Amino acid sequence: MKPSAGRRPIYMDHAATTPVDPLAAQAMAGCLTADGVFGNPASAGHAWGDAAAFRVDSARRQVAALANADPAGVIWTSGATESINLAVLGVVRFAMARGRGRHVITARTEHSATLAACAQLEREGARVTYLVPGTDGAIPVQAVLDALRDDTVLVSLMHVNNETGVLHPVRETAAHLAEHPAVFHVDAAQSAAFLSLDVGWGVDLLSLSSHKFYGPKGVGALYVRHRPRLRLQPLMFGGDQEQGMRPGTLAVHQLVGMGEAAALVLQRRDADRWRLDGLTRRLEQGLLDLEGVVINGRAERAPHILNVSFIGVHGESLALALEGIGLSLGSACTSASATASHVLRAMGVADGLALASFRFSLGRWTREEDVDEVLARVATALAEQRRRTTVWADYRSGTPVADLYGTDAGEAAG
């Protein structure tokens, strides 16, 4: 990245990806060359394969510990997208093939991987109920319960929304689902680094992504309930690795890196959560002090994500003015397109505001001085951008936000 002249780069896009922790990188490096643990863990019977298998098993235990899970239930994948697809498609296809039901419950605000997998299931004959959040971004537990049917086979919900940071009460939802045969899948990609997880709450499937908690890209995991055994239809075929659910030679260095990153999370999770909560609150208040700022996601949020819309600016123009700050215009999954975020649309945010939304996401090495410098740069850029728009002049003269953008989001404006 090339920062603006005289401006140091500041990374605030940790919800998109995190840098690999140096200790995790060091562990990975020890699994690459001839003097390290480079063997194929499936090559049982010689020292190289046995050493690799030992490291993979250790990593599996480390990742399982993130959610107090049985290591035997951890299936390695290429990341959360594959984990989500394996969970959603695997459960429903298995059930449909045996006539056990075809109904799925999810939310309009889910990650695109979940929504795309559900769309595919609909093409295959499944029925999907898409829950709509309130304007605060939350999905009420009662809405989940009201959507349950006798033929519901899967409920799939995010623990933390990747765009707004809004939390879903996983534990409460799981408790209410205990008397229903539906399988409960939780996308925990954004929560594992900061929030307590325990599959003992009643979570049957849990998706994780290494690069969201300071591990390498290209590796993730799906926890699958081991007792009583939960059956899935695999997505790929070709070997008996990972209990036949995910064939292919295991990338030992990536698994070891994810395992080390998971172990570091358990050491630092509480401290990281409290520190980042304070920094995010400082950022939020500083932005609200700038006037004409709308917070997207007013429900309880994770400590590291803040999504805001700026009244009276064009999102892409403001993003160019903020060159040198690593943040997402919308989210990493939607910022490459010119359409408004599906998450914000589901919350009732008007397109004009959604297209001027930015996601700030802080991380392990974010400092207080980073927050203050970002606030100063945003204030300067906003002042310059707003001088060019009639929308800002109208807003300052008292025109309600509802009239400017066709939304009642003005109640949240600073």
pLDDT in tens, 81-122: 999 999 999 999 999 999 999 999 999 999 999 999 999 999
User: What contacts 344, CB < 8 A, 6 or more positions away?
Assistant: 163, 164, 296, 307, 309, 330, 353, 354, 357
pLDDT at residue number 337: 53
pLDDT at residue number 340: 86
Catalytic residue among 75, 144, 170, 333: 333
Per-residue model confidence as pLDDT tens digits over 71-86: 999 999 999 999 999 9
| Boundary residue ending a domain (213, 232, 265) | 265
- Position 75 in a domain: yes
Would you place residue 187 in the very low, low, confident or very high pLDDT band (cuts 50, 70, 90)?
Answer: very high
Per-residue model confidence as pLDDT tens digits over 389-405: 899 999 998 999 888 88
Tokens of 35: 């003097």
Q: pTM for this structure?
A: 0.93
* Cα end-to-end span (Å), the chain: 32
| Domain CATH number, residue 203 | 3.40.640.10
Q: Are residues 259 and 297 in the same domain?
A: no
Tokens of 39: 């063997």
- Position 4 in a domain: no
Q: How far apart are CA 7 and CA 50, in angstroms?
A: 50
Q: Are residues 344 and 361 in the same domain?
A: yes
| Domain CATH number, residue 350 | 3.90.1150.10
- Position 306 in a domain: yes
Would you place residue 410 in the very low, low, confident or very high pLDDT band (cuts 50, 70, 90)?
Answer: very low
- Position 76 in a domain: yes
Go through 330-366 and write b for each residue having 16 or more CB atoms within 10 A of its CB, e for each that does not.
bbbbbbeeeebbbbbebbebbebbbbbbbbbbbbbeb
- Section 329-356 average pLDDT: 79
pLDDT at residue number 141: 97
pLDDT at residue number 226: 87
Annotated catalytic residue 333: yes
Q: Are residues 35 and 91 in the same domain?
A: yes
Q: Are residues 358 and 386 in the same domain?
A: yes
Place of tokens 């100063």: 376
| Boundary residue ending a domain (238, 265, 292) | 265
Instruction: Reduce the DSSP state of residue 10 to 3 states and report it.
Output: strand
Q: Are residues 97 and 149 in the same domain?
A: yes
Q: How far apart are CA 170 and CA 236, in angstroms?
A: 29
Per-residue model confidence as pLDDT tens digits over 48-62: 999 999 999 999 999
| Boundary residue ending a domain (265, 288, 305) | 265
Q: Is the pLDDT of residue 414 over 50?
A: no
- Position 37 in a domain: yes
Integer-rounded Cα radius of gyration of the chain: 22
Instruction: Reduce the DSSP state of residue 324 to 3 states and report it.
Output: coil
Tokens of 184: 């409960």
Whole domain around residue 382: which residue ranges? Answer: 10-14+269-412
Q: Are residues 322 and 229 in the same domain?
A: no
Q: How far apart are CA 284 and CA 10, in angstroms?
A: 17
Q: Are residues 317 and 223 in the same domain?
A: no
Q: Are residues 261 and 292 in the same domain?
A: no
Q: Are residues 180 and 318 in the same domain?
A: no
